[in-house]
Structure 1
């Protein structure tokens, strides 16, 4: 509820001096009688009229308040927004091969990638975002959606255990991962279509080469940002043995040339993330490069809602008149 003439509400401040005046006047006009002791009156029954002595005063205040609210013109609103987004459709293509368990990023590459991507998703509430995961093969974990709660829940369930449990073949099929993401974007009507491809390896699986997938993306006007995850040199990798988990130093091999060619072919950029901080910086940079243009048209339908307040004011003043001329009538 809103008020068309909200300035009239300042009239309610007049109640303060009126209440003070009423209290002071009652003290001066109250009849008194001096007696030696009031003990005999302590057990005397009180008439119910005593409890109504201040009722006219309260009703008068209520009437005044209701009249002020009527003058302020309370209105109900029925607002809705017609949002037109010259938006961005984004597919995240994330490598879930077992090499993503390496712990050069903390706690490991896959968890660091999930955490930073979740922050990226939360920062873009108006975009359609989906998720493709790939290792030796690729599939869509979540299609394009504006329901980011669902997307984040599905993202959190992503892990390299999917490979270890045999749900997906191990390896790195960059071309298949990119092609899957492109297939989700090719029919999009958005003015800007983006794939963010994150991997820590070299393409060694799949029926589609990475550069072929990049050419397909280019044909559909899709820009690809590629991210290579992993430190330089070697990275600690947990190996399960009979004696428990043992760490070995695994060489970090990222095909940066191919990643750069994919990005270059589609007018995107290639980034290298060697730490958690660098990975966050990469996503911030992509966030700056891809901004949503949002046009919002707001329509509102207002209806006058003073009738209830006017009725309360009428009933209050009517009840005050009835009380003053019946049970609270004073004899001069």
Structure 2
């Protein structure tokens, strides 16, 4: 504990000591006056402590009030929602399907923008767009307006690589390029540190058309303490899209998205329309951490002082029929 005005603390201590000394001298003088008159002080039922408790409570309250003028403060752990969230958007051609209005990508963008606006500035949010490759379009930060702008700029093009999306998201979290080790060369997995306050939200229809192995990339994230929440955007029945003059059928692949999420102890969420997408974002489990914060205790000191004054006054009235 510390005090904003240490000099007033010394004054409070001096006043408190003076009050207790004065009370002691007053009791001795009263006893001496009674003895001189040949009288003895009455012994209230309950013993001597009953006679002294109410005034001592009131004296302690006065000391706390003086202590409050010194502005006491203490460093206490305060819970808060914090950490890093990477929103990884599938921007492949299949995300242009209209089985969710207006399109799969459009519905995901709307729900993600609403999610970003609801987060406190203690949560850093980044954006990764992935198709056949992956691109970090917004580094994690607390400028949520810029994050929303980056989300709204996304457009569809190309194929899908869930593995590359996870690696790009990890790169944004740890601040350095991340890649899978070469199994043929016997390379050990990279040491990314431990990032338990980081979450990757992977929004995709689950159609993986190549690139790094998605499950292996998820295992790398799990080793770094990063959870992956996967959001399946689309319907199981699917839809037909037109790419370069060809008609292609596309449907939601839940199996891969579920496996990726479970690998990191995350969860898979099915979002078949814009409304359910909003519900998915509301259910995401952000980490609750603690932050050491300097908290002023003046209010607590005054509150306790008023409580002691009230108790002391009530006891004086109840036991002795007077305040002083």
TM-score grouping bracket, smaller chain normalisation = 0.5 to 0.7
Distance in 1 (CA, whole Å) between partners of 2:99 and 2:238 is 8
Distance in 2 (CA, whole Å) between partners of 1:176 and 1:191 is 21
Mapping 1:94-243, distance limit 5 Å: 94-125=89-120, 126-160=122-156, 163=157, 170-186=158-174, 191-206=196-211, 208-235=212-239, 237=241
CA contact (8 A) 2:93 2:243 kept: no
SS at match of 1:227: strand
2:177 counterpart residue number: none
Identify unmatched segments of 5+ residues in structure 2. Answer: 1-77, 175-191, 297-324
1:280 counterpart residue number: 278
Identify unmatched segments of 5+ residues in structure 1. Answer: 1-82, 164-169, 301-332
CA contact (8 A) 1:273 1:282 kept: yes
Q: Deviations 1:301-321 (Å, cap 9, x if unpaired)?
A: xxxxxxxxxxxxxxxxxxxxx
* Residues 124 and 294 of structure 1: CA distance in aligned 2, closer, same or farther (over 3 Å): farther
CA contact (8 A) 1:225 1:270 kept: yes
* Bigger radius of gyration: 1
Q: Deviations 1:12-45 (Å, cap 9, x if unpaired)?
A: xxxxxxxxxxxxxxxxxxxxxxxxxxxxxxxxxx
1:28 counterpart residue number: none
Distance in 1 (CA, whole Å) between partners of 2:275 and 2:214 is 27
* Residues 299 and 156 of structure 1: CA distance in aligned 2, closer, same or farther (over 3 Å): same
Work out the number of aligned pairs and report it: 203
Distance in 2 (CA, whole Å) between partners of 1:85 and 1:276 is 29
Distance in 2 (CA, whole Å) between partners of 1:280 and 1:84 is 25
What is the TM-score when the length of structure 2 is the normalising length?
0.56
Please give the root-mean-square deviation of Cα atoms over the aligned residues, in Å.
2.8
SS at match of 1:232: coil
* Residues 154 and 234 of structure 1: CA distance in aligned 2, closer, same or farther (over 3 Å): closer
Distance in 1 (CA, whole Å) between partners of 2:80 and 2:280 is 25
Distance in 2 (CA, whole Å) between partners of 1:107 and 1:260 is 25
SS at match of 1:136: coil
Q: Deviations 1:198-243 (Å, cap 9, x if unpaired)?
A: 111421121x1101110110111100001111112132536787xx
Shift in Å, 1:122? 0.8
CA contact (8 A) 2:234 2:272 kept: yes
What is the TM-score when the length of structure 1 is the normalising length?
0.55
* Residues 205 and 239 of structure 1: CA distance in aligned 2, closer, same or farther (over 3 Å): closer
Distance in 1 (CA, whole Å) between partners of 2:194 and 2:236 is 40
* Residues 216 and 191 of structure 1: CA distance in aligned 2, closer, same or farther (over 3 Å): closer
Q: Deviations 1:85-110 (Å, cap 9, x if unpaired)?
A: 67221111100011111111111111
SS at match of 2:98: coil
Q: Does 1:90 align with 2:85?
A: yes
